């Protein structure tokens, strides 16, 4: 599914200006032990030259819930990690023996991604990109 399919243009007659937003300090979660709560498989065509690319998203249980914006929207903070998946010549989706996913599965002492749910991980932070660091493991 194209991420832009649900975007609609609307005319808004307001003057845009800088706004103050509250920054969330995710360093408070570094070193916490938390269980993996969910795995999901996704596909994207964002990389036009590669066709459809599949990936596995592994998420922790909720670390925190914050309230944001004027509408007081609840946002769950989770640690997550994304792993590339490969497609073989028969169209089967999976992981290669030399992949980061295989290495992670081995380190977690499981043989398939489904076995990750309920396993305990330690929260880390990603390297800073564009001034932001995300919770990972």
Max Cα distance, the chain (Å): 56
Instruction: Count helices and strands (H / E) in the chain.
Output: 1, 10
| CA distance linking residue 23 with residue 77, whole number of Å | 13
* Three-state secondary structure call for residue 113: helix
Residue with tokens 């989706």: 93
Can you give the pTM of this predicted structure? Answer: 0.78
Judged against a pLDDT cut of 50, whether residue 47 lies above it is answered with yes
Judged against a pLDDT cut of 80, whether residue 133 lies above it is answered with yes
| CA distance linking residue 108 with residue 9, whole number of Å | 45
Class of residue 19 by CB neighbours under 10 A (exposed 0-12, middle 13-18, buried 19+): exposed
- Assigned token pair, 14: 């307001």
- 53-106 tens-digit pLDDT: 899 999 999 999 998 888 889 999 999 999 999 989 998 999 999 999 999 999
Class of residue 121 by CB neighbours under 10 A (exposed 0-12, middle 13-18, buried 19+): buried
């Amino acid at each position: 599914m194209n991420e832009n399919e649900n975007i609609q243009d609307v005319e808004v007659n307001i003057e845009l200006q800088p706004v103050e937003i509250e920054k969330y300090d995710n360093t408070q979660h570094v070193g916490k032990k938390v269980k993996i709560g969910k795995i999901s498989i996704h596909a994207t065509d964002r990389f036009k030259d590669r066709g459809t690319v599949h990936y596995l998203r592994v998420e922790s249980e909720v670390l925190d819930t914050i309230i944001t914006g004027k509408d007081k929207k609840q946002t769950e903070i989770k640690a997550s990690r994304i792993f590339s998946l490969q497609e073989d010549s028969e169209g089967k989706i999976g992981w290669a023996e030399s992949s980061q996913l295989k290495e992670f599965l081995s380190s977690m002492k499981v043989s398939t991604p489904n076995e990750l749910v309920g396993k305990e991980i330690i929260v880390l932070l990603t390297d800073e990109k564009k001034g932001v660091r995300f919770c990972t493991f």
